[in-house]
Amino acid sequence: MKTTHLICGTLAAVAAGSALGMLDDDAAFDAARKVLSKMTLEEKVLLTGGSGTMTLSAIPRVGITKEWTMSDNSSTVRPAMNRWDWGYTEPKSENTKLPSLSALAQTWDVAWARRHGEVLGAEMRDRGVDELLGPGVNICRTPLNGRNWEYLGEDPCLAAAMCVPLIQGVQSYDVAATVKHFCLNDQEWNRNTVDTHVDTRTLNEIYLPAFRAAVKEAEVLCLMTSYNKIDGIWASENKYLQRGVLRDRWGFKGIIETDWGGQHSTDFAANNGGGIEMHWGQGIKYNYYAMTNRYPLAEAVRANKVPAAVVDEMALRTLFVMAKTGFLTNAPRKAGARNTSEHQRVARAEGADSIVLLKNERKVLPLQAKALKKVLVIGSNADVKQCDKGCSGEGNVPYEVTLFAALKNRLTGAEVKLMPFCAKMEIAKTDTSNATITGGHVEQKGKVAWSDPEELRKAAEAADAVIVFTGTELGYQENMESESRDRVEFELPKELQAAMHTILGWKLKNCVVVSRSGTPVGYTWTDKADTLVQTSYLGMEEGNSIVDVLLGEVNPSGRLCQTWPKRYADTAVAQCGTYNGTNVVYNEGFYVGYRWHDKKAIEPLFPFGSGKSYTTFDWKNARIARGKGPRDRDAFVVCVDVTNTGKVPGRDVVQVYLGYPNAKVERCVKDLRGFAKTKVLKPSETETVEIVLEARDFAYWDLLENRFRADKGEYEVLLGASATEIRARAKANLTRDQRFRD
């Protein structure tokens, strides 16, 4: 049997249901202008600053009869928050929690991105929330970034391809999505004050593409600026980015808003393209100070510091987004739903499809459930819930299934036992310095439980299977992942590393290591592990998703969205010395992730895009033909026939990279330019995968012309199972130079 699967470049859209209240742009602007014409200066200013931590003011006199409400995050709808502080209203509202965005990126599946967005949109509509503060699309520049788990990996092509259908899914429910954090917020260390510096070419080729795709392809309605300075200017006051890039170059029509506490002035911010000021309720003060009913922005207009037309535009864009979603016009909006069995199914299935099988050398996996009478789980975190952690990533769920709980539920005829590592570990007192600023929910930890090594070994050798659960957890200690702080060390604590060496040295017959993290972690023992499974944070169904893969009910098909270096010293930020908390210069340029490893010929621990399966696949008949793309009538269509040559159904991922043997300017060894994930292929079934490359996919940022340019000539087209496993090569020839406005 042979089927065809088509992905057009990096921005494939997935068809699904549409919004009800969403007006076209002209109609939305007409509705917005009518309301604007009735408003006083003070009423316009109300739309430029929050009326509370997560709200904009109602203005009944002009027909805005209720407050516009917002909510974090990219994998759930955060519980409703108090008006004047970071606390939650009681009782806390409950919502489904989906896998993190790092997990979504590991699916390499645009269909999952669309479904992820639809679930978020539906749950927000059911809660009566109007704006989702996500997705985040910042690039994984350093593995120490505490928020890598909230983003879509290290590659701009992958991040762009995944964020577009996610945004479209959210907005299909008449909810505004918010792409963030614009831009160069690629670390949490001193994010509120750090000054970042990047050359224009790197900015446009690495750090802007996902934002551009969100604006131009997904037509995202809102954008959040980052905390950091960029070349000495706060991101929320940066005219080049807010006016020059967003408005003029990309034609962004929607709301620009600050991250919470990210505005630092009144007139300077307004005059340089700023938008809505947001903070915890009491902290909102530069545009509209709700606590004292003051209007600093109106005062600036009357003092001739800000043109009245600037405030008109700021308010108009807010009204435009309100009209687009049906909020302003009271149009019928798509009905939502929350905590449904279907949403829980999505959480579980998406999570399972994101899991990456890195090693399975003795074919220990999948485990045979009927043969398991005794199962030992090593690692306390296998039964520690994560959904209520992570600051803005926090959720409140009706239930959460840990790995240990899922094993006990599934293996009803077996004895399933949990024991801590054979290591004793002290954790320093929690750093609470940023808690008030970021809304952190502070946690304290003392000693971690530990097991006697001989007792642990005896239990392990008596078990039919041993599952070792390691990696990170969400929280505020030095080796945890969370908003507002970076991890202190690349490697896990020495005690845990030593414990892993000890356990793997026992040469247990059926030992499976499950590593959970949203970012690469420094492991020194992977050569001793025969079986290694990598997962990110999977939300409320995490345990079930992992067990589905361990027992073979789901064949793993995830691929890494980040390069895993062998040691921190191998990373670009370490070798260039450009990671600090004051002035960060992106001296590595566009050599980020696998691009850096290619340039320096550094072998990674696990390559970008890598992942194994319980079956095998054969690729044949790779070829390139001319065809039509969404924007290019003379595009290249890259084709390959993928056949399942194993004994169980499974999915494969085809990655297309471009090489530049005749480049006129400096280029990377290769860049990801497209990908496609097959359907579930039965044994012996073949699918023809087609990936469209348009001329813009060959382009680089021309510093002299200040725009993208693709030079005529011959290019290498590389079909890979990862960034290092290239299975087929072909040539593509551009017959003329081409230039692109942006």
In a domain? residue 61: no
**Per the structure, how many domains does the chain have?**
4
Q: 447: which 2 tokens?
A: 């000693």
In a domain? residue 708: yes
Do residues 595 and 652 share a domain? Answer: no
Q: Which residue has the higher pLDDT, 184 or 578?
A: 184
pLDDT of residue 632: 75
Rounded to whole angstroms, how far apart are CA atoms 355 and 561?
11
Do residues 621 and 666 share a domain? Answer: yes
Rounded to whole angstroms, how far apart are CA atoms 17 and 125?
15
Rounded to whole angstroms, how far apart are CA atoms 297 and 299?
5
Domain CATH for 367 = 3.40.50.1700
Give the tens place of pLDDT for each residue, 117-163: 999 999 999 999 999 999 999 999 999 999 999 999 999 999 999 99
pLDDT of residue 285: 95
In a domain? residue 2: no
Rounded to whole angstroms, how far apart are CA atoms 130 and 485?
29
Three-state DSSP state, 54: coil
244-249 average pLDDT score: 98
In a domain? residue 81: no
Q: How confident is the model at residue 14 (pLDDT cuts 50, 70, 90)?
A: very low
Contact status, residue 678 vs residue 645, Cβ threshold 8 Å: no
356-377 average pLDDT score: 97
Domain CATH for 735 = 2.60.40.10
Q: 484: which 2 tokens?
A: 């507002």
Rounded to whole angstroms, how far apart are CA atoms 377 and 463?
10
Beta-sheet strands, E only, within 586-736: 617-627, 635-644, 653-659, 671-677, 686-693, 700-702, 707-710, 713-720, 726-734
pLDDT of residue 79: 96
User: Tokens 């790779």 sit at which residue?
Assistant: 622
Torsion of CA 601, 604, 610, 616, to 10 degrees: 90
Rounded to whole angstroms, how far apart are CA atoms 633 and 630?
8
Q: 690: which 2 tokens?
A: 């087609």
255-271 average pLDDT score: 98
Do residues 37 and 141 share a domain? Answer: yes
Do residues 601 and 711 share a domain? Answer: no
Of 280, 236, 232, the closest CA to residue 70 belongs to 280
Rounded to whole angstroms, how far apart are CA atoms 615 and 647?
6
Residue 17 has pLDDT above 70, yes or no: no
Phi/psi of residue 595, nearest 5 degrees: -60, -40
Three-state DSSP state, 141: coil
Rounded to whole angstroms, how far apart are CA atoms 331 and 348?
34
Rounded to whole angstroms, how far apart are CA atoms 307 and 431?
44
Distances (CA, A) of 24 to 19, 32, 323, 474: 11, 12, 9, 41
Do residues 308 and 365 share a domain? Answer: no
pLDDT of residue 6: 42
Give every CB contact of residue 50 below 8 A, 6+ residues apart in sequence.
Answer: 56, 276, 277, 278, 279, 281, 284, 288, 290
Domain CATH for 254 = 3.20.20.300
Give the tens place of pLDDT for each residue, 304-337: 999 999 999 999 999 999 999 999 999 999 999 9
Residue 557 has pLDDT above 60, yes or no: yes
Rounded to whole angstroms, how far apart are CA atoms 451 and 449?
7
Residue 18 has pLDDT above 80, yes or no: no
Helices 453-462, 494-505: inter-axial angle, 10-degree rounding: 40
In a domain? residue 724: yes
Lowest mean pLDDT among 6-15, 25-34, 290-299, 388-397: 6-15
In a domain? residue 338: no
214-241 average pLDDT score: 98
Give the tens place of pLDDT for each residue, 293-313: 999 999 999 999 999 999 999
Give the tens place of pLDDT for each residue, 70-103: 999 999 999 999 999 999 999 999 999 999 999 9
pLDDT of residue 479: 81
pLDDT of residue 430: 52
Rounded to whole angstroms, how far apart are CA atoms 178 and 581?
27
Q: 45: which 2 tokens?
A: 């200013």
Lowest mean pLDDT among 385-394, 509-518, 621-630: 621-630
Contact status, residue 254 vs residue 320, Cβ threshold 8 Å: yes
Rounded to whole angstroms, how far apart are CA atoms 372 and 375?
7
Residue 439 has pLDDT above 60, yes or no: no
**Phi-psi region for residue 273, left (φ > 0), alpha (ψ -120 to 50) or beta?**
left
Rounded to whole angstroms, how far apart are CA atoms 42 and 609?
52
243-258 average pLDDT score: 98
Q: Return the HEC string of 385-396.
A: CCCCCCHHHCCC
Rounded to whole angstroms, how far apart are CA atoms 196 and 231?
6
pLDDT of residue 448: 56
Rounded to whole angstroms, how far apart are CA atoms 595 and 140?
13
Distances (CA, A) of 438 to 140, 229, 271, 432: 21, 17, 27, 10
In a domain? residue 34: yes
Do residues 540 and 591 share a domain? Answer: no
In a domain? residue 350: no
Helices 341-354, 110-127: inter-axial angle, 10-degree rounding: 150
The range of the structural domain enclosing residue 296 comes to: 21-51+91-324
Lowest mean pLDDT among 25-29, 229-233, 491-495: 491-495
Do residues 374 and 480 share a domain? Answer: yes
Do residues 236 and 307 share a domain? Answer: yes
Rounded to whole angstroms, how far apart are CA atoms 282 and 698?
49
Do residues 510 and 622 share a domain? Answer: no
> Residues 130, 155, 174, 259: which is the catalytic one?
259
Q: 732: which 2 tokens?
A: 């593509």
42-52 average pLDDT score: 98
Rounded to whole angstroms, how far apart are CA atoms 211 and 246?
9
Do residues 590 and 522 share a domain? Answer: no
Of the residues 301, 324, 347, the one at which a domain ends: 324
Percent of the chain with pLDDT over 90: 90
Helix extents (H) in 219-278: 239, 267-271
Give the tens place of pLDDT for each residue, 627-668: 877 777 779 999 999 999 999 999 999 999 999 999 999 999
pLDDT of residue 53: 97
**Measured distance between the N- and C-terminal CA atoms of the chain, rounded to whole angstroms:** 42
Of 251, 207, 209, the closest CA to residue 226 belongs to 207
| CA angle, 512 then 516 then 520, to 5° | 115
Torsion of CA 398, 403, 406, 411, to 10 degrees: -170
Do residues 404 and 523 share a domain? Answer: yes
Rounded to whole angstroms, how far apart are CA atoms 51 and 46?
8
Q: Is 548 a residue of the active site?
A: no
Do residues 255 and 242 share a domain? Answer: yes
Q: How confident is the model at residue 13 (pLDDT cuts 50, 70, 90)?
A: very low
pLDDT of residue 15: 39
